[in-house]
Chain A
Amino acid sequence: MNVAYYPGCSAKGSSKDYEISTQAVCRALNITLEEIPGWNCCGSTPAHAVDTELSAALCARNLDIAASQGAKLLLTPCPSCLSNLRAASQRMEKPEFRQRVNELLDTPAAETFPEVLSVMQGIAMQLDKENLALRVKKTLKGLRLAAYYGCLMSRPADRMRFEDPENPQLMEDLLTACGAEMVDFPLKTACCGAAFGIPERAMTARNSGRILELAARLDVDAVITACPLCQMNLDLRQTQAGRALNTRFHMPVVYFTQMLGLALGLPRKQLGLNKLAVSADKLLGKLDDPRLADAEGGQQS
């Protein structure tokens, strides 16, 4: 499957690990990601917080380049980029809005844009859970994980069309197919505090703290995320979150692509696990424990 690909700015900075593990997993599953040439920032939260048309213009430029390359499907790993790109597509269907946005662009945007989906949905399109299970080289059996989607992946519902907006299951499906035990995680679509980490740290620390606290109480080995901003708030800012709740957490926060990569038996170096602020060594040690590998049978490592 060949698809257009929009990495988003954090792929070049704070979420390099998400990016390299996404690339590695897609390569292994024969999904060819064709990066949109000359893509620009989608504007993220600041653009839509300031002005809807500015946000749409920044997105439309990317969608237009992808359309001019003949792309029918565009994948992005980042839920914030996904939300903005989908919002722009949706709003551009209104002629007056399209007109206002076109005024901001060098040349009017293409009439139709490719469908924009998350990398997670792209992977699920490429192979269903039965087929994914057949590709597992190193079972995740013995790991107890919490899937955390964040607030943007599934909401607003009519824009995102990503399963049940408060109880999505896709990540659980993928990781269960890899052998992991997925706990019921009621805060799976709660907000982590988003981009408020810099201007209003208390907001992010409190919201992320609640998520980490529940994960710790459920005694999971890791929280699995799909969003660069959530990952940064829960991982890099974990000490701040702990302080807000008068506690200390030691909770690895791992991208779902890193977990899939482990299950597919990809070299760990290709998964960027060394970039996590909270070490995942304990979890990796569990995976390497021969007693667990024996127990499930049938899987060679």
Chain B
Amino acid sequence: MNDHIDLNRLRDPSFIAAVEAQSGQNVSTCYQCGNCTAGCPAGFAYDMPVSQIMRGVQLGLRDSVLHSRSIWMCLSCSTCSQRCPNNIDVAAVMETLRHMARKAGYVTVPKMEKFWLSFLNTVRLFGRSHEIGTMALYMMRSLRVFTDVDLAPTAIAKGKLGLLPHIPPGGAKPVARIFQRYKERARREGVRP
């Protein structure tokens, strides 16, 4: 079964400690019951089921885990956390792993990151997110022709696609400054912002 867990790969014993510290979760208590995997609505798009990710963390298989597709396809729905008999917030572990992967510059599913950064760019520019702006930036970044053209006529007819962004009264500057400081700090700390 565990095709993805190759014990000959590099093992990093400090990995579990780092994941536990950052996520605040006691990953070592996982006994592989598989409840998290059984209820995971994104599992069909994973390369490693979420319970195997947990096992990988325990074994210190840093590279396999941080390069997995799964940590990018996770929906953050917390079904796994709810059903874990050991009270591990599994979704928090998945999120921690995604953060660690990004900071290390591993982006296995680039389109997900492109989508997030497109969204956040509209927030930085306008103070509030903007649906059309997000789509336009995402199309540019991913060189993808917009896949949702079929929705546009209905969305526009129903007045649900705001063509112009909504900028808060008082302007978007205070929000832009949050992003600016965030970026500067990431650069100082040598991680991917």
Interface residue ranges, A against B (CB under 8 Å): 9, 12-16, 37-41, 43-54, 57-58, 61, 103-106, 151-152, 155-157, 165-166, 190-191, 193-203, 206-207, 236-237, 239-240, 274-277
Contact = CB atoms under 8 A, between A and B. Distances in A.
Contacts of B159: 16, 275
A13 B147 contact: no
Contact of A49 (B116, B154, B170): B116
Given A14-B161, A41-B127, A50 B120 contact: yes
Contact of A155 (B73, B79, B98, B99): B79
B162 interface: yes
Given A49-B112, A151-B77, 11 more contacts: A12-B166, A48-B76, A52-B99, A58-B123, A58-B178, A152-B77, A156-B78, A194-B76, A203-B73, A240-B151, A275-B158
Contact of A199 (B99, B114, B166, B193): B114
A49 B117 CA distance: 10
A166 B174 contact: no
A194 B77 CA distance: 9
B185 A197 contact: no
9 contacts: A47-B120, A49-B95, A104-B181, A155-B77, A193-B75, A202-B45, A203-B73, A203-B75, A276-B158
B115 interface: yes
B82 A157 contact: yes
Interface stretch (B12-20, B28-36, B128-136): B128-136
B181 A156 contact: no
Interface in B80-122: 81-82, 89, 91-92, 95, 98-99, 102, 111-117, 119-120
Nearest to B154: A277
A61 B175 contact: yes
Contact of B166 (A9, A103, A201): A9
A59 B154 CA distance: 32
Nearest to B90: A156
Contacts of A37: 169-170
B140 to A, nearest CB: 13
Nearest to A50: B116
Contacts of B111: 199-200
In the A-B complex, the 7 residue pairs with the closest CB atoms: A46-B116, A191-B77, A151-B77, A155-B78, A13-B162, A199-B115, A38-B170
Contact of B99 (A46, A51, A191): A51
B148 interface: yes
Given A104-B178, A198-B135, A236-B160, A40 B127 contact: yes
Nearest to A204: B75
B116 A61 contact: no
A198 B76 CA distance: 16
